[in-house]
Structure 1
Amino acid sequence: MTGTPGAPSAQDAEAAAGQGTVGKATYEEWLGLVVIVLCCVLVAMDISVLFYAVPFVSADLTPSTTEVLWVMDIYGFLLAGLLITMGALGDRIGRRKLLLFGAAGFGVASVLAAYSSSPGLLIASRALLGVAGATLAPSTLSLIRNMFHDEGQRRTAIGLWTAGFAAGAMLGPITAGVLLERFWWGSVFLINVPVMILVIVLGPILLPEFRSPSPERFDLFSAALSLAAVLPVVYGAKRFAEGHHDWKSIAAVVAGLAVGALFIRRQRRSRDPLIDTKLFRDRAFSTAIVTTTVVQFAMLGMMMLSSQYALSVLGLRPFVASMWQLPAIATLFLGLTLAGVLAKRVRPAFIVCTGLTVAAAGFAVMSLVTADSGLALIVVGSSIMTSGVGMVVLLATDVVVASAPPERAGSASALSETSNEFGGAIGIAMLGSIALTVYRREVEDVIPPGLPATADEATRGTLQAAMEVAKSLPDPAGAALKQGSIEAFTDGLQIAVLTGSAILLVVAAAAAIALRPVRIDAQQVGE
């Protein structure tokens, strides 16, 4: 990203060692990118594909409430917890090899999940999916680093990679809704199998192999520390989002952060670290990691709040509500495309700052939502936000990839992916907690006197529960509780998105300063 105009970077030259001079990607490499993006779509889709399938799973397997939560959460927990380990492993044994092993594991785990006959087997299958997904995510991005040496082409490839993950997360509920109209719940897992077979067949043909020329010893203790650091933080953040503001949630986050400090200390002292902490001395790299964390914070928080509004306030069916996410997907692609065009002419600092400001404006539009405003403001606000997110994530990811030497591309990619997972978890937890706190404070004023204790507790818990309680009450008490709880929820939504908007603006200002020295060489963008 930085350097003498017109001169290829030393990192690119090193990446091309043994593969000829730095040049344009071939047709074969672009086909290989298709294989990579397919992996991205499925890894992201499996995070959200169960949102609408849970009622069908519950009816068939009759899991307990705790088992339902584990079915939903175990995939994301292990995916986040193992990204750093798998990124480092790919640097050592080969990124294509790890990708192919992961694809095979993902396919097998999908079949096991689809035909699970008990909640325990489904939980175990989802856990295997998380492990396999953790091998796919960093491998895909690090392979892009080795396949696309031209700066402009690499940026385009990263844009498609980013779009694959974002579209997969948003398409999960839509895909599930379509399949569940015709097939049983296991079909939401079986759709992974043909794609993974395609990856296994075409991967050895279209994807190059790359491993560190001097592979280091794999530190199993560091791998265990990374898992022990990430899992408690994600778990605690999720508990906060669910309204459990108790000592267990706090203890989980604190314990994870403490283990994380031990992990970083070991990486600094180890001769064979899983991650190169020297990367964080690069201001552009550190800023890019923070920026990707914040945009995921915003996007996942937005998806959670907007879906709750559509389902609970407007009463839309899940499938119909998910279809209204399509405009946001379209504007995400628009933002990615615009960033790629602008990157040839202006500095990354301007693009990233503009993207964050646009995303903040999207949150500001959503703050205008009221109990009676309908869906239009949610759709417009979320679409504005994702256009800004698309601009940011393309440039930020490109900075991360370009900053790392080729032999450390897997570790750098894993750091980028881990920051995404953390950002999403924190966004759901923080914005969800703000909205829930405001809701609980205001709904107290509209709870009718004499309400049974269980109904009173349910009303204070969630808007959806309050709506069910309101249905059981005669008018005018029921109508008053329904309207009052909706207004309490929208007030909480407004404060949450305004908080998110303020955070985005602060990070925009910081990124504008930190990324100011970073330039993009005109010749490397292929002009």
Structure 2
Amino acid sequence: MSTLLAPPRPRAATTTRARRFAALAVLMLPVLLIAVDNTVLSFALPAISRDLDPSATTLLWMVDAYPLVLAGLLVVMGSLGDRFGRRRMLFIGATGFAAFSAAAAFATDSWMLVAARVAMGLFGAMLMPSTLSLIRNVFEDRTERRIALAVWSCTFSAGGAIGPLVGGVLLAHFHWGSVFLLAVPILVLLLVAAPLLVPESRDPHPGPVDVISMFLSLGALAPTAWAIKSMVHPDERGAAIAAVAVGVVCGIAFVRRQLRARTPMLDVRLFRSVPFSGSVVMNMTAMFSLTGFLFFISQHLQLVAGLDPFAAGLVLLPGTVLSIVAGLVVVPIVARVAPRWVVGVALLFSAVAYTMVAVLGHGASIAALAIAFVMLGIGIGASETVTNDLIVSTVPAAKSGAASAISETAYEIGAVLGTAVLGTVLSLAYRAHVVVPDGLPSGSHAAAEQTLGGAVSAAADLGGTAGAALLDSARAAFDSGVTVTSGVAAVLMVLAAVGAWFSLRSVER
């Protein structure tokens, strides 16, 4: 592994500890913003639907356009940052993201909002790899860098978890556009403070811009990400399979081109390092675990337990806080304990969380779910700190932007998989158990058979004893699906812990 370490280089411009951590605080602004943006929109969809009256397909694109573009462009933008300057890419990304967030907030029709979300994904892809690679540049001391990466990981995980809380507060008092306008003051602060605190960095020998590789990277990631999200819909399954085929062909062509290039856009030889590859997979697994859990717990708390979005967010707050604490506490631990132990045990915490939900089933109380999320948060916070440190510390510093992009892509693909895979299992179990009474219009009947939200709306329209019976059946069916889903996820987390044990066994403290 030592052959992958960076050669000595001059110290960064941020020379004092206070300035380094001030720079870290500035770099956390876009991380928190983008993490919150991943989850906050779902709470604004009812209000958006009332104002803009989108079709079902358009509504889906409002949600999916942003993460699909983001995932598809992360590697490209990480490579451009290596070549043209990571801080420069951060500034361009922040300016564009703020501008199109404002455009989304004042969208007057549904496709204008979709277009703004596409642009936000484009500029968001400039932000995320830049933050992680700039941390590598600012923090040369291994212990300080671990602390910085712990803060980065916890900020990203916490942002996703507090999104529902933020959305609940904003939507209770303001127009739905406020969830987008939140980005503007945060990014303005970044643009003011970053030139004073964050030094520029780039690859000193970047080579020429490889446009073909950029298109191949986009062709590999974007169709694959879309296919993962679309595979659950029977009417889109054929297109999803075709998209996977396109992604595989582009991916193979991309790898072959990188192996032949004198200065590759992405050094795929990095994946020959088992610790590097293992850390990337563990990153993806952690986000799979987090987003899968949030997918069903947010629905249970609101549609089964009857909490409003703000109260549901409060239930998740202890787990969010302890995720941050675990990410920081693990720094001195991993200096004394081998990473395979730390990551393996952390992933077992996630397995315990899912096991609790699977065992308790429909009888799980709000307190029990909060405790389960605490266990999950501790596991996510600890594992992400260690794996992010391994990813950025086992590659040459000049390639930190590309390595950061790999880490970010793992995050996004993990998030997509968590929702798609566990969401599919949950949906299948729900459909198998829900009992929908006769007498509903065909549209309401189909909606009640498909989702818990559809059943809640149909029960309200039906009313009376029949409506109450449908609501009880739908809630029980949903929780039966949660039980099955949690059991599947628990097994996957145990397998991931075993994988971490073997893939990280050569890594020293």
TM, length-normalised to structure 2 = 0.94
Deviation at 1:378, TM superposition (A): 1.7
Deviation at 1:487, TM superposition (A): 2.0
Once residues 314 and 303 of structure 1 are traced to their aligned partners in structure 2, the CA distance between those partners, rounded to angstroms, is: 15
Q: Percent identity?
A: 36
Deviation at 1:244, TM superposition (A): 5.8
CA contact 1:366–1:382 (8 Å) conserved in 2: no
Query: Superposition pairs for residues 167-316 of structure 1, below 5 Å?
Result: 167-241=158-232, 246-316=237-307
Give the stretch that moved more between structures: 116-125 or 71-80: 116-125
Deviation at 1:347, TM superposition (A): 0.8
Once residues 278 and 394 of structure 2 are traced to their aligned partners in structure 1, the CA distance between those partners, rounded to angstroms, is: 12
CA contact 1:331–1:387 (8 Å) conserved in 2: yes
CA contact 1:241–1:428 (8 Å) conserved in 2: no
Which one of 23, 39, 42 corresponds to residue 32 of structure 1?
Answer: 23
* SS of alignment partner, residue 135 of structure 2: helix
Which position in structure 2 is the counterpart of 1:54?
Answer: 45
Answering whether residue 433 of structure 2 is matched by residue 433 of structure 1, we say no
Distance 1:384 1:19, change over 3 A: closer
Answering whether residue 128 of structure 2 is matched by residue 137 of structure 1, we say yes
- Partner AA of 1:515 in structure 2: L
CA contact 1:24–1:149 (8 Å) conserved in 2: no
CA contact 2:344–2:500 (8 Å) conserved in 1: yes
Distance 1:406 1:324, change over 3 A: same
Once residues 275 and 255 of structure 1 are traced to their aligned partners in structure 2, the CA distance between those partners, rounded to angstroms, is: 20
Distance 1:472 1:27, change over 3 A: closer
Query: Superposition pairs for residues 94-133 of structure 1, below 5 Å?
Result: 94-133=85-124
* SS of alignment partner, residue 389 of structure 1: helix
Deviation at 1:170, TM superposition (A): 1.9
* SS of alignment partner, residue 335 of structure 2: coil
Which position in structure 2 is the counterpart of 1:459?
Answer: 448
Deviation at 1:242, TM superposition (A): 6.0
* SS of alignment partner, residue 231 of structure 2: helix
Distance 1:473 1:388, change over 3 A: same
* SS of alignment partner, residue 368 of structure 1: helix
- Partner AA of 1:436 in structure 2: S
CA contact 1:243–1:436 (8 Å) conserved in 2: no
Once residues 118 and 452 of structure 1 are traced to their aligned partners in structure 2, the CA distance between those partners, rounded to angstroms, is: 29
Which position in structure 2 is the counterpart of 1:322?
Answer: 313
Computed over aligned residues only, the root mean square deviation of the Cα atoms, in angstroms, reads 2.2
* SS of alignment partner, residue 47 of structure 1: helix
Answering whether residue 373 of structure 2 is matched by residue 353 of structure 1, we say no
Once residues 144 and 503 of structure 1 are traced to their aligned partners in structure 2, the CA distance between those partners, rounded to angstroms, is: 31
Which position in structure 2 is the counterpart of 1:89?
Answer: 80
* SS of alignment partner, residue 518 of structure 1: coil
Deviation at 1:49, TM superposition (A): 2.2
Which one of 466, 485, 496 corresponds to residue 485 of structure 2?
Answer: 496
* SS of alignment partner, residue 271 of structure 2: helix
Once residues 199 and 473 of structure 1 are traced to their aligned partners in structure 2, the CA distance between those partners, rounded to angstroms, is: 51
Deviations 1:326-359 (A, max 9, x none): 1120121122123112112111111001101111
After TM superposition, the runs of 4+ consecutive aligned structure 1 residues lying more than 6 A away are: none
CA contact 2:351–2:491 (8 Å) conserved in 1: yes
Distance 1:315 1:250, change over 3 A: farther
- Partner AA of 1:240 in structure 2: M
